[in-house]
């Protein structure tokens, strides 16, 4: 049954109607009458089914997915192993609440997280539903373990939309505007941003540390929270040495180093975790997005003595580590291993960088091509300057959408195009998507 669905979709982009087509436009009418206009509206084609890197909309258009639902469906859509695992679990039981009566899959996910996250120390995990919930709990745990309150975050950071995580997130519009007051004891310091600051990793770390020490005081800091490759903030890869220097500073001062690997983790950058590229071993790691192949699941994993510092019942929630999501994570991790998708991310990096660097030589609006693995971005600038060019990013996204390709923008100034293809995308599909992107950039340039 699963394989007949697979063969019925095929692997090619195919646009049959104008986009959005008539059936999507009719659904859009219904949406306007009942869905809050506060919910983002990216590309309003309504999806009927999907397989691999192809989404099929309600008008029968086959759309190439270079966004993976924001780095979630790394293993691709409708993967048979995941479909099977989830279907069986739904038929067995869908919920007990792990804190009321436990089940094996939660424990098995924590075993996998202990094995996959950096470092060989004793680890413990707790599971949640969303990335924001994981980040919020990591901060709670770090505060409880250190009995300190300050949290250090970085320019361009994105950590979620709950009250505490809005405070941790940098960008005002659309994430924070009008939603204050925000949680206190959050201090923001400069990120390493090689394209814009030209600093070495060591110098950028020294700059951040000097601000922390003069404005907050190391002895007041519970946690330093950082995305090893920033996601929503613009796929900013810090200069080599930045993360190791910060990690060392946290160790020297009893500060909990929290790596937010929600977007960069689970093979996306060509290592299981982005910190692995520099051998950094965080005290706590937050995971979500790529963890469970599209089912809502998130985790906090880290040093046993920190994770166990909280009293029993101090951390939890009704749905955290839901059994359907937990078996999906186990299936997704199996697929990642069986298909060697971490290595595949490196191949995708090579293909994307070759193509985009060639494109950058031909046009004037690409200021920087950067990223790791299957997490690659173009930063767009006004020709001949480094001034962010957000209207170009918008126009490129629209051109790609009009031609049946999903690409996403990001960046504090909205001037970055990011590519997050499913790791199972074929070479042919990726070449097709990059060709459309190149046409879009040339059209806008």
CB of 296 vs ligand PLP, minimal distance in Å: 7
Looking at the Cβ atoms of 146 and 169, the one nearer to ligand PLP is: 169
Pick 288 or 330: Cβ nearer ligand PLP:
288
Minimum Å gap between C-beta 337 and ligand PLP is 23
Query: With b meaning 16 or more CB within 10 Å and e meaning fewer, what string describes 271-281?
Result: bbbbbbbbebb
Q: Alpha helix locations (H) across 172-292?
A: 194-197, 201-215, 242-252
**Residue 170 neighbours by CB under 8 Å, 6+ apart:** 153, 154, 155, 156, 157, 158, 188, 233, 412
Q: Which of 98, 154, 158, 242 binds ligand PLP (CB under 6 A)?
A: 158
Minimum distance of ligand PLP from residue 1's CB (angstroms): 31
Q: Which stretch binds ligand PLP (CB under 6 A): 4-12, 103-111, 125-133, 346-354?
A: 125-133
| Distance separating alpha carbons of residues 376 and 47, to the nearest angstrom | 25
For the CB of residue 299, give the shortest distance to ligand PLP in the complex, in Å: 12
Report in angstroms how near the CB of residue 68 gets to ligand PLP at its nearest.
12
Q: Which of 59, 260, 283, 379 binds ligand PLP (CB under 6 A)?
A: 260
Site string (132-151) toward ligand PLP, x via CB under 6 A: x--x----------------
Place of tokens 């190391």: 218
Query: For ligand PLP, which is the closer residue by CB, 226 or 405?
Result: 226
Q: Which CB, 132 or 376, lies closer to ligand PLP?
A: 132
Q: Which residue from 61, 89, 125, 130 is in contact with ligand PLP, where contact means CB under 6 A?
A: 130
State residue 444 phi and psi, 5-degree precision. Answer: -85, -30
- Whether the Cβ atoms of residue 45 and residue 21 lie closer than 8 Å to each other: yes
Looking at 76, 131, 371, 422, which residue binds ligand PLP (CB under 6 A)? 131
Question: How far is it, in rounded angstroms, from Cα 225 to Cα 159?
Answer: 9
| H-state helical runs in 286-426 | 304-307, 323-338, 341-362, 390-402
Query: What whole-number distance in Å separates Cα of residue 405 and Cα of residue 41?
Result: 16
Judged by beta carbon, residue 54 or residue 236, the one nearer ligand PLP is: 236
Q: Which residue has the tokens 């104008």?
A: 18
- The residue among 80 and 316 lying less far from ligand PLP, judged by its C-beta, is 316
Nearer to ligand PLP, 116 or 288 (CB): 288
* Binders in 283-322 for ligand PLP, by CB under 6 A: 288-289
CB of 232 to ligand PLP, least distance (A): 6
What DSSP letter does each residue of 140-197 carry, written as one string? HHHHHHHT--EEEEETT----SSHHHHHH----TTTTTT--PPPSSEEEEPPP-HHHH
Rama region for 78: left / alpha / beta (φ>0; ψ in -120 to 50; rest) = left
Question: Of 101, 78, 86, nearest to 7 (Cα)?
Answer: 78
Range in contact with ligand PLP (rule: CB under 6 A) among 40-48, 83-91, 92-100, 227-235: 227-235
Query: In Å, how far are 34, 106, 147, 303, 414 from 125, measured between CA atoms?
Result: 39, 10, 20, 9, 35
CB of 62 to ligand PLP, least distance (A): 27
Strands 366-372 and 375-380: antiparallel
Residue with smaller CB distance to ligand PLP, 65 or 136:
136
Question: Alpha-carbon distance 294 to 342, whole Å?
Answer: 18
Tell me which residues in 371-390 interact with ligand PLP (CB under 6 A): none
Residue 286, φ and ψ in degrees, nearest 5: -100, 140
Least CB distance to ligand PLP at residue 92 (A)? 26
Nearer to ligand PLP, 103 or 266 (CB): 266
The least distance separating ligand PLP from the CB of residue 235, rounded to whole angstroms, comes to 11
Q: What is the rounded distance in angstroms from the CA atom of residue 230 to the CA atom of residue 13?
A: 30
Tell me how many residues contact ligand PLP (CB under 6 A).
15
The least CB distance from residue 131 to ligand PLP, in Å, is: 2
Which of 57, 59, 112, 227 is the binder for ligand PLP (CB under 6 A)?
Answer: 227
Interface with ligand PLP, residue 231, by CB under 6 A: yes
Q: Kindly list the residues in this chain that would bind ligand PLP in the complex (CB under 6 A).
A: 130-132, 135, 158-160, 227, 231-232, 260, 262-263, 288-289
């Amino acid at each position: 049954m699963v394989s007949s669905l697979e063969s019925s979709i095929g692997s090619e982009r195919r646009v049959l109607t104008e986009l959005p087509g008539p059936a999507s436009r009719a659904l859009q009418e219904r949406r306007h009458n009942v869905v809050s206009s506060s919910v983002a509206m990216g590309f309003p084609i309504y999806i009927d089914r999907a397989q691999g890197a192809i989404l099929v909309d309600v008008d029968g258009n086959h759309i190439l997915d270079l966004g993976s639902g924001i780095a979630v469906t790394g293993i691709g859509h409708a993967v048979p192993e995941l479909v099977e695992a989830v279907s069986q679990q739904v038929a067995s039981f869908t919920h007990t609440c792990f804190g009321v009566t436990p089940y094996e899959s939660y424990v098995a996910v924590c075993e996998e997280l202990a094995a996959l996250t950096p470092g060989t120390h004793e680890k413990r995990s707790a599971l949640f539903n969303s990335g924001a919930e994981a980040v919020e709990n990591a901060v709670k745990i770090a505060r409880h373990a250190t009995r300190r309150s300050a949290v250090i975050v970085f320019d361009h950071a994105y950590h979620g939309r709950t009250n505490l995580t809005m405070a941790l997130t940098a960008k005002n519009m659309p994430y924070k505007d009008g939603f204050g007051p925000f949680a206190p004891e959050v201090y923001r310091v400069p990120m390493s941003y090689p394209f814009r600051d030209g600093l070495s990793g060591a110098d950028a770390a020294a700059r951040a540390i000097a601000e922390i020490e003069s404005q907050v005081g190391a002895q007041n800091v519970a946690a330093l929270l950082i995305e090893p490759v920033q996601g929503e903030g613009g796929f900013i890869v810090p200069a080599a040495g930045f993360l190791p220097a910060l990690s060392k500073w946290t160790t020297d001062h009893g500060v909990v180093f929290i790596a937010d690997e929600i977007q960069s983790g689970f093979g996306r950058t060509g290592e299981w975790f982005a910190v692995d590229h520099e051998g950094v071993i965080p005290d706590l790691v937050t995971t979500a997005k790529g963890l469970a192949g599209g089912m809502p699941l998130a985790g906090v994993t880290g040093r046993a003595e920190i994770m166990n510092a909280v009293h029993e019942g101090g951390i939890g929630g009704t749905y955290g580590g839901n059994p359907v999501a937990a078996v999906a994570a186990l299936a997704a991790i199996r697929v990642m291993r069986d298909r060697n998708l971490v290595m595949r991310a490196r191949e995708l990096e090579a293909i994307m960088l070759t193509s985009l660097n060639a494109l950058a030589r031909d046009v004037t609006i690409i200021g920087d091509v950067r990223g790791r693995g299957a997490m690659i971005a173009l930063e767009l600038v006004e020709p001949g300057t480094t001034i962010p060019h957000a209207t170009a990013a918008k126009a490129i996204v629209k051109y790609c959408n009009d031609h049946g390709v999903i690409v996403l923008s990001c960046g504090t100034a909205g001037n970055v195009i990011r590519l997050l293809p499913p790791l199972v995308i074929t070479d042919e599909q990726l070449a097709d998507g990059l060709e459309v992107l190149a046409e879009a950039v040339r059209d806008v340039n």
